[in-house]
Each structure stands twice: as C-alpha cells, then as structure tokens.
Amino acid sequence: MDWRKTLLEFYRETFHLHHWVMTSNSIDLWEKLEESQWLSRKQILDIQHDKLQKLIWHAYEHVPYYRKSFDAVGVRPQDIRDINDLVKIPFLTKETLKKSDTSFFLSDNHNPNNVVRIATSGSTGVPLHVYADRTQLEYRYAAVLRNWHWTGYKFGDKQIRLWHQTIGMTEEQIKMEWLDSFLMRREFLPVFEMDRNRLFQFMEKIRKYGPTMMDGYAEAFNLLSRFIKSNNISDIEVPIIISSAQMLPDHVRELIREQFHAEVFDRYGAREFSTIAHECEYHNGYHVNAENLIVEILKDEKPVRPKEMGEVVITDLNNFSMPLIRYRIGDLSCVLEGECRCGRGLPRIGKIMGRTQGVIVGTNKKFMVGSFFLHLLKDYENEIERFQIVQRKYGEIIFKLIPGRKYNNNIVHLIENQFRDWLGEDMEITTVIVDQIPMVKTGKYTVCISELPIDFQKNRNYEE
C-alpha cells in the first residue's frame, strides 16, 4: 500500500487523539469536497440553497437575535428561498456582536461540549469572540485540506508553518497539537521571533528539513524573502508557498517566488470561517469554498458589477450553534465572471484590496485602499523598511515610515508629491519617522488605518 494512504488511514483512526471537538468525519468531508468541487455552478448553487433554507429556519426558531432581527423587518423563513433573497435579511456587524450578550447569538439547543470559542485578532479595532460548532469546524478543516491539494501538495508531504504554534491553547491542546504536527510532518517557525540571528537559524532549519510546502503570513514571507535577497542566500528552495492573513501585492509575490524558487498561492481566510477562498493552480482569482459559505460582494446593499470593488459579506452555511448570516467581515474585493480553466464549478472573487476601515479618502473624493499604496511604494523597498498611512480627518493623512538602508530626506518629498497626485493637491501630509509599526497580536500589520465614517452599504461615504 502507498505509504501516504497508510499514513492517512492512521491519521483518520487516531483523529480523536490529536484534535479536540472535531472527529474523523473531517476526512470524510474532505473526500466529499474533492468530488463536489467539480460539480457545475448550478449544482453548487443547489447545495447552497438547500443548506441556506435549513440554516434560516433554524436561526429563526432557535437564535434570539435572528428571531428579533427577522421580525423587525417583517421577514419569515419561508421568504428566503435562495441567495437572491438574502437581501431581505439585515446585515450582522462586528459592532453588534461585540456590544451584545453572546447568549443572544447562540442557539437555544446547542451542545456546549461541541463548540469552540474563537477570538478574532482585532485588527479592525473591534476584537470579539465567536463560537464555532463541530460541524463548522469539520467542514472548514476539510476545505483546508482540499485547498492545500490545489497547490500540488500531497498528504504526508513535509511542511513548515510561519505561525504561532500554541498561543491560547491549554496544556492538553498543546499535546494534541504536537501529535497532529508529528503525523502531518509539520514543523513551525515562530512568527514573533524574527530577529537577525533567528532568521539565519530559520534558513538552516528550512535547508535541513526540506519542506515541500510552507504556509504563513504574507508579511512574514516578505520579510524572509528580503532577508534571503539582502544576504545573497541562493540555496533555499521550497516548491510551494501558501500566503495568507494579509494582502499579497504582485511585487511581493514575485519576490517570494524568486527567493524561495517557489510557486506562490494566496489564501483568503478569517478566524471566524478559516479559509474563505483560495487560488487554484491557474492563479486566476480565488475560488470560494462555496459548499461552506455564501460570499456576497456588495456596494450600497447591491451586488457589484464584475471587477467593481465592494464589501465582502459572508453567510456560514454550517455553523448552527452561532449562525453568522450576512456578516460584514470588513474586507474589500470584487466578483470575477466566467469559468476558471481548472474546470471547478466554485465561484471566484478577486484579490482582497484592503479593509473597509482602511480606505483613505482624497480631497479629490477618490477612495484609495491598502493595496494601492503597496503598489505605489513598491519601488522604495530599499528606502522604506515599512510604512503605514493613518487618516483621522478628511483632508489630512499621517505617513509613518521606518527608514530603510538607503533612506534619504529627498525620498519623503518625492513620495508626498506622489500622494498628492493621487489624493489631491491640497491633501495635508504629515510624515513621521518611527522605529517600529506595531503588529496586532497575531503577527499582522495594517497598511492603512482610517477613522473616517466610511460605509460601503450607505450613500454617505465620508464626512468633512
């Protein structure tokens, strides 16, 4: 028997020893998802509609928030027959979740032993906790396994994660995580310990272990790639890189590809749902894990036109303990039309352009997102180590930067002029030289922070 199949069967049989709450049903679901991805778009829509109707009835009958929310707008479960009817349901925001008692969102028939509390990073300034039940956890893990295999990874291949390994886990969970990593042939590189000496140690570990795949934060891969390049290291080769958690600009993708001699895949995910969408082998947008989620891209509460920027709104089809229906996650993306050459029937979205809380408004009334600034300043990697743009008032921005090894004062004037070209000649710009730009606790950092009341689902977009 193929050693990979033997390992997979052993992994399945011992699943209860290295996972909590989830069962080996995760592997069965993965195998089903491997089949359903090849269904037609209409067949996948049928799966979504069937799941959506069951979820809506359950939410109305068992979750206090949804009963009150539906009644307030005169909606009954029978009014929601398919995705097009979702417009009748009010949005769920992070602010609403944060300010309300958790019991208001939990179903009255959930099993406390089958749920896990999940903390979001608070990168949007609104940290909160949600609860995921066994079914949702198993489906999301199944989707992760499926998405990994789109990259050419095979179960049992060596892998390294640029991540934290055990933060927030109990002692028992740490033991389970260790066993799971052993069986998955997974090693970790601690994302919070990236000083110069440690980076050389990371390089040595990658050489000796020889992983087929590495996954982790986009910014961590960016940092490693720049370190490899600046130190003229040429013998680091990892066939597959999966980037996640932050925007992956094209120039950063190319840098990672060159320095790791890798094919780079981007993953769009969130703590509330795990993987939302993932690139396939053709890198033509991101396939939504549509058996698990409904993803709407909206502006002024209407679906955007193809390639038009809008806000990502998500409905989880599997979490019946704490349903998240029309959840405004705070990201900006677009819809892609047509079928992918891979032949999968899963719908596609474009790359994440930024966050709704990170849109910078110009005096010329233009909206600029984080991905724009990453592209604009991509040629200053030697002059600027890292930057962040903060907007607290209309007509003003603060440009924070950490100087690079070739920084000079002329660069600041040049960049400020470029900002005014795009944001308006009368934009007031305050440039501040800093030693560090803090990351949020999960290792991410935000390119743009805006305190303007921008709302993509209202006609009011800013206040002067």
Average pLDDT over residues 243-267: 92
> Residue 121: its pLDDT value, please?
60
Among 56-70, 111-125, 282-296, 377-391, the least confident range: 111-125
Closest CA to 433 of 393, 399, 410, 396: 399
Does 442 or 24 have the greater pLDDT score? 24
The answer to whether 221 and 244 are in contact (CB under 8 A) is no
Average pLDDT over residues 213-235: 90
> Residue 84: its pLDDT value, please?
94
Of all residues in the chain, the percent with pLDDT exceeding 90 is 67
Of all residues in the chain, the percent with pLDDT exceeding 70 is 94
Band (461; pLDDT cuts 50, 70, 90): very low
Spatial neighbors of 399 by CB under 8 A, at least 6 apart, are: 387, 389, 415, 416, 419, 429, 430, 431, 432
**Is residue 196 scored above 50 in pLDDT?**
yes
> Residue 198: its pLDDT value, please?
85
Average pLDDT over residues 263-280: 96
- How far apart CA 110 and CA 179 sit, in angstroms, is 29
Among 217-231, 285-299, 318-332, 430-444, the least confident range: 430-444
- How far apart CA 102 and CA 409 sit, in angstroms, is 51
Average pLDDT over residues 108-117: 93
Does 194 or 36 have the greater pLDDT score? 36
Mean pLDDT over each residue of the chain, to the nearest integer: 90
- How far apart CA 58 and CA 67 sit, in angstroms, is 10
Among 64-68, 141-145, 154-158, 428-432, the least confident range: 428-432
The answer to whether 207 and 228 are in contact (CB under 8 A) is no
User: Largest Cα–Cα distance of the chain, in whole Å?
Assistant: 70
Which tens digit of pLDDT belongs to each residue from 4-42? 999 999 999 999 999 999 999 999 999 999 999 999 999
- How far apart CA 199 and CA 178 sit, in angstroms, is 23
Which tens digit of pLDDT belongs to each residue from 95-105? 899 888 889 99
Q: What residue ranges of the chain are covered by domains with CATH 3.30.300.30?
A: 357-450
Band (141; pLDDT cuts 50, 70, 90): very high
- How far apart CA 22 and CA 180 sit, in angstroms, is 13
Residue 438 CA to its chain's centroid (Å): 19
Average pLDDT over residues 438-448: 64
- How far apart CA 332 and CA 231 sit, in angstroms, is 36
Q: What residue ranges of the chain are covered by domains with CATH 3.40.50.12780?
A: 1-352
- How far apart CA 172 and CA 168 sit, in angstroms, is 12
> Residue 454: its pLDDT value, please?
77
Average pLDDT over residues 200-224: 92
Among 132-146, 276-290, 399-413, the least confident range: 399-413
Does 441 or 119 have the greater pLDDT score? 119
**Is residue 259 scored above 90 in pLDDT?**
yes
What's the N-to-C CA distance of the chain in angstroms?
69
In order, the DSSP letters of 403-428 are E-TT--HHHHHHHHHHHHHHH-TT-E
> Residue 176: its pLDDT value, please?
94
> Residue 135: its pLDDT value, please?
96
Out of 135-139, 173-177, 446-450, give the one with best mean pLDDT.
Answer: 135-139
> Residue 366: its pLDDT value, please?
83
Helix (H, G, I), strand (E, B) or coil at 399: strand
Report the CATH superfamily, name and number, of domain 1-352: ANL, N-terminal domain (3.40.50.12780)
Which tens digit of pLDDT belongs to each residue from 142-161? 999 999 999 999 999 999 99
Which tens digit of pLDDT belongs to each residue from 356-390? 777 888 998 888 877 788 878 888 878 888 899 99
Band (167; pLDDT cuts 50, 70, 90): low
- How far apart CA 138 and CA 132 sit, in angstroms, is 10
Band (442; pLDDT cuts 50, 70, 90): very low
Per the confidence metrics, is the pTM higher than 0.75? yes
Domain 357-450 fold: GMP Synthetase; Chain A, domain 3 (3.30.300)
